[in-house]
């Protein structure tokens, strides 16, 4: 599949052609900029990432004209044939959690998000409109900067403002999502480690800048908010300011809201502090003794460091700080300043390595010392590649849906339960105690026991929680999200057996009590017999989407792990919250709506499941 990608900004147009069948898949890239009446500058490269970048003058005087010029350019270099177009779209609001096929409804929805990204969405919409007119028969896909951040929890995306404001969509959304997702995957690849094992802080420091806490593959917080104005100091954007400033500027300086917003976007940030938004110039001026430039650098670094510290706390740990974007990739001194003071966390930068970083391609050099507990990695981002991947993924998914037979899978709702180690069985029920078999479960390896345990948290407790036998190596307590509120403890969604860094609860048995970690919300999964797996074209470790429930509450559960093992009876396991969400009361079946093994774009979810495969020792 060949894909053309557009990333249209307010003052430049970037594009790329990707041949997804080959490894070095970006076969052409280009950027039109410096638009004037007399034309613009085109930087372009034909061939893989190692090819030489060239520059020439072109006629287009506007971005719209530049898009119209792309077909001729592609023809000149022999890339005029492609199957689809992917567009970067800044703001997808609360609606779009993943890439979306562009139709009139999608366009209307993106338009409705424009007030949230007034500088960015209009440029993206303009590119979409011209491109739909130029290539009316090709599928076109919108890939949203906000989508990767849909996993940010409510506690992080909620502003403490009146409810009627929040009801209009006023919340934090986050941007640069495609870049942060790419960086997290790139870091995981570099470290040969599942992304789900890593706590990464991704620092995208370009003209626009943001920091993202990627906790085991999922964005849990990011510094840009409802608009791309919040957070770090940027080239011309202020980043965080006191909202009281608006009233002050209106009252004392007679400024209109529109004028204030405009200046916060265009006349603030580095430009306001140092007289230029270009970090190279600022660093030179600072070295020459310019105090404004020195202050700008200090403010910039301090803000970034503050966010990194906050996100390490938000994740409860930190393995990697990743730097990307023009400043993150090129400014060794800015990396040094930002990483200063993290020695208490065990971060030690190797100054020689830091200063000699050279990124010709998509290398990802590490610049910490050998004994540093936290890794610091510098790498280029490639939002266009992510957009091409997401586009390919969406299109192949659509084809598969239309071509695929439908399969029905029985569904069982798992109430809260636990598996105990023999050591814990004896602590709770007395020395030498063996779990008492009550009845068999459908899965041949598991059985319900007579014993019950009380699970006690800081807020409340769950009485009579069922134990499933036989005893396991480690104790694991599986509850629903709702149960975690009863207990007053947050629990992670984990595949069975993946228990590192899980929270501690108290268990009370008939003769004793213990404190143990192992509290999880079980990730949804399907036990599958090898015969069914062959029939459905699936294998262990694949994952699928399953449509469940009927009527108004029917819903599709994505990322459902397939577990294939001799002796398994095919059955999907969901928890009580999931059953309630889909309106399921009794036994039911779900329809498999997709049986494709996803591409790299969903490697995060897949890795999570693969990890499960390694650790999953018994039936849940
Ligand atoms: P955009 O967000 O527009 O894609 P970039 O990622 O290209 O922006 O980053 C632009 C920023 O990177 C500018 O502030 C520029 O000065 C800075 N930059 C580029 N090269 C260097 C360098 N060698 N040293 C310091 N800053 C640099």
pLDDT digits (tens, 9 = 90+) for 61-83: 999 999 999 999 999 999 988 88
Domain boundary among 144, 165, 200: 144
Q: Are residues 99 and 186 in the same domain?
A: no
All residues at 6 or more sequence positions from 491 whose CB lies less than 8 Å from its CB, including other chains: 479, 481, 484, 502, 503, 519, 520, 521
The residue from 37, 103, 145, 617 that is catalytic is 145
Q: Is 19 a catalytic residue?
A: no
Torsion angle, alpha carbons of 365, 371, 375, 376, to 10:
-60
Indicate if the pLDDT at residue 615 is higher than 60: no
Q: Are residues 231 and 250 in the same domain?
A: yes
Helices (H), 220-268: 244-253, 257-266
Do 310 and 224 fall into the same domain? yes
Measured in Å, residue 327 CA sits from the centre of ligand 1 at 5
**474-515 pLDDT per residue, tens:** 999 999 999 999 999 999 988 888 888 899 999 999 999 999
- The first and second tokens of residue 87, run together, are 């567009």
502 with 581, same domain: the answer is: yes
Q: Is 91 a domain residue?
A: yes
**Residues ≥6 apart with Cβ < 8 Å to 345:** 312, 318, 373, 374
pLDDT surpassing 80 at residue 572: yes
Helix H or strand E segment including 409: strand 407-414
Ranking 51-60, 112-121, 231-240, 499-508 by mean pLDDT, the lowest is 112-121
Task: Evaluate whether residue 93 is within a structural domain.
Answer: yes
Please, which pLDDT band fits residue 533 given cuts at 50, 70 and 90? confident
Q: How far apart are the first and last CA of the chain?
A: 40
CATH of the domain at 101: 3.30.420.40
Q: Total domain count for the chain?
A: 3
User: 47 with 27: CB under 8 angstroms?
Assistant: yes
Which pLDDT score is estimated for 609? 40
Percent of the chain with pLDDT over 90: 68
Q: Which of 51, 57, 60 is nearest to 29 (CA)?
A: 51
Q: What residues contact residue 341 under an 8 Å CB cut-off, 6+ apart? A: 305
Which tens digit of pLDDT belongs to each residue from 328-350?
A: 999 999 999 999 999 999 999 99
Nearest-10 Cα torsion for 463, 464, 469, 473: 20
According to the per-residue pLDDT averaged within each range, which of 83-92, 319-328, 585-594, 608-617 is highest?
319-328
Helix (H) or strand (E) segment spanning residue 532:
helix 530-536
d(CA 156, CA 221): 6
Task: Specify whether the CB–CB gap between 33 and 7 falls below 8 A.
Answer: no
Q: Domain range spanning residue 577?
A: 404-620
Which token pair is 502?
């899980």
Please state, in angstroms and rounded to a whole number, the distance separating the CA atoms of residues 533 and 401. 18
CA nearest 522: which of 409, 413, 604, 448? 413
CA atoms within 13 A on the CB side of 250: 9
> In angstroms, what is the span from residue 326 Cα to ligand 1's centroid?
3
pLDDT for 404 equals: 41
Residues contacting 371, CB < 8 A, separation 6+: 348
- Cβ of 282 less than 6 Å from ligand 1: no
Q: Which pLDDT belongs to residue 436?
A: 92
Q: Clarify whether residues 334 and 249 are in a common domain.
A: yes
Among residues 333, 368, 401, which one ends one of the domains? 401
Q: Is 278 in the pocket of ligand 1 (CB under 6 A)?
A: yes
594 or 153: whose pLDDT is higher?
A: 153
The residue out of 401, 427, 444 marking a domain boundary is 401
Give the pLDDT band of residue 188 (cuts 50, 70, 90): very high
Alpha helix segments (H runs only) across 56-211: 63-77, 104-112, 121-134, 154-157, 163-166, 177-190
- Which residue's structure tokens are 């009380």? 454
Q: Tell me the average pLDDT across 37-55.
A: 92
Give dist(CA 51, CA 45) in Å, integer: 7
Alpha-carbon span 519 to 480, nearest angstrom: 10
The whole-chain average pLDDT of the chain stands at 89
Q: Name the residue at shortest CA distance from atom 3 of ligand 1.
A: 207
CA count, 13 A, side-chain hemisphere, 104: 0
Query: How many other C-beta atoms can be found within 10 angstroms of the C-beta atom of residue 62?
Result: 14
For helices 121-134 and 63-77, angle between their N-to-C axes, nearest 10 degrees:
50
* CA-204 nearest atom, ligand 1: 6
Q: Is the full-model pTM beyond 0.75?
A: no
391 alpha carbon – ligand 1 mean position (Å): 28
Beta strands in 445-570 (DSSP E): 447-456, 461-469, 476-478, 493-494, 505-508, 513-516, 519-522, 525-528, 543-548, 555-564
With respect to residue 487, please indicate whether it lies within any of the assigned structural domains. yes
Pairing of strands 417-419, 476-478: antiparallel
Q: For ligand 1, atom 12, which residue shows the shortest CA distance?
A: 326
Do 454 and 388 lie in one domain? The reply is no
Q: Which of 21-35, 288-302, 530-544 has the highest mean pLDDT?
A: 288-302
Is there a single domain that holds both residue 394 and residue 269?
yes
Per-residue pLDDT band for 552 (boundaries 50, 70, 90) equals low
């Amino acid at each position: 599949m060949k894909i053309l990608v557009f990333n249209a900004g307010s003052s430049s147009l970037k594009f790329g052609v990707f041949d997804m069948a080959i490894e070095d898949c970006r076969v052409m890239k280009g950027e039109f900029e410096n638009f004037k009446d007399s034309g613009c500058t085109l930087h372009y490269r034909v061939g893989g990432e190692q090819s030489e970048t060239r520059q020439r003058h072109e006629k287009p005087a506007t971005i719209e004209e530049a898009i119209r010029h792309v077909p001729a350019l592609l023809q000149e270099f022999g890339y005029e044939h492609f199957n689809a177009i992917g567009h970067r779209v800044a703001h997808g609001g609360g609606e779009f959690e993943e890439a979306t096929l562009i139709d009139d409804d999608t366009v209307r929805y993106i338009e409705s998000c424009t007030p949230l990204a007034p500088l960015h969405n209009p440029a993206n919409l303009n590119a979409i409109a011209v491109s739909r007119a130029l290539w009316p028969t090709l599928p076109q896909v919108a890939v949203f900067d906000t989508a990767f951040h849909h996993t940010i929890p409510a506690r992080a995306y909620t502003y403490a403002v009146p409810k009627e404001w929040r009801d209009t969509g006023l919340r934090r959304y986050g941007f640069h999502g495609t870049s942060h997702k790419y960086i997290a995957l790139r870091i995981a690849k570099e470290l040969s480690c599942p992304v789900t094992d890593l706590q990464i802080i991704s620092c995208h420091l370009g003209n626009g800048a943001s920091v993202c806490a990627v906790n085991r593959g999922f964005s849990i917080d990011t510094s840009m908010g409802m608009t791309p104005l919040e957070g770090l100091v940027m080239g011309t954007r202020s980043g965080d300011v006191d909202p009281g400033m608006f009233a002050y500027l209106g009252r004392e300086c007679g400024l209109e809201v529109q004028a204030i917003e405009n200046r916060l976007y265009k006349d603030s940030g580095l430009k306001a502090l140092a007289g230029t938004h270009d970090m190279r110039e600022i660093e030179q001026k600072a070295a020459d003794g310019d105090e404004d430039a020195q202050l700008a650098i200090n403010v910039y670094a301090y803000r970034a460091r503050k966010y990194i510290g906050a996100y390490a706390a938000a994740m409860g740990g930190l393995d990697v700080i990743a730097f990307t974007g023009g400043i993150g990739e090129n400014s060794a001194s800015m990396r040094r300043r930002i990483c200063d003071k993290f020695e208490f966390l065990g971060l030690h930068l190797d100054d020689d390595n830091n200063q000699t970083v050279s990124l010709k391609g998509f290398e990802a050099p590490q610049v910490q010392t050998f004994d540093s507990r936290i890794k610091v990695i510098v790498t280029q981002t490639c939002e266009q590649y992510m957009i091409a991947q997401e586009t390919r993924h969406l299109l192949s998914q659509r084809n598969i849906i239309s071509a695929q037979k439908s399969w029905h899978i029985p569904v069982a709702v798992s109430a809260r339960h636990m598996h105990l180690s023999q050591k814990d069985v004896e602590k709770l029920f007395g020395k030498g105690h063996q779990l008492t078999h009550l009845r068999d479960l459908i899965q041949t390896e598991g059985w319900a026991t007579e014993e019950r345990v009380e699970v006690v948290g800081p807020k409340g407790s769950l009485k009579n929680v069922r134990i499933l036998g036989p005893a396991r190596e480690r104790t694991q307590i599986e509850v629903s999200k709702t149960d975690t509120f009863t207990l007053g403890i947050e629990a992670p969604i984990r595949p069975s057996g993946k228990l590192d860094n899980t929270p501690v609860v108290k268990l009370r048995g008939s003769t004793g009590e213990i404190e143990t970690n192992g509290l999880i919300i079980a990730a949804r999964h399907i036990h599958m017999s090898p015969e069914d797996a062959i029939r459905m074209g699936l294998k262990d470790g694949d994952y699928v989407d399953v449509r469940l429930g009927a009527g108004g509450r029917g819903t599709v559960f994505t990322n459902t792990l397939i577990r294939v093992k001799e002796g398994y009876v095919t059955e999907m396991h969901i928890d009580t919250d999931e059953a309630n969400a889909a309106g399921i009361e009794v036994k039911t079946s779900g329809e498999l709506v997709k049986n494709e093994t996803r591409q790299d774009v969903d490697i995060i979810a897949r890795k999570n499941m693969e990890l499960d495969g390694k650790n999953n020792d018994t039936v849940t």
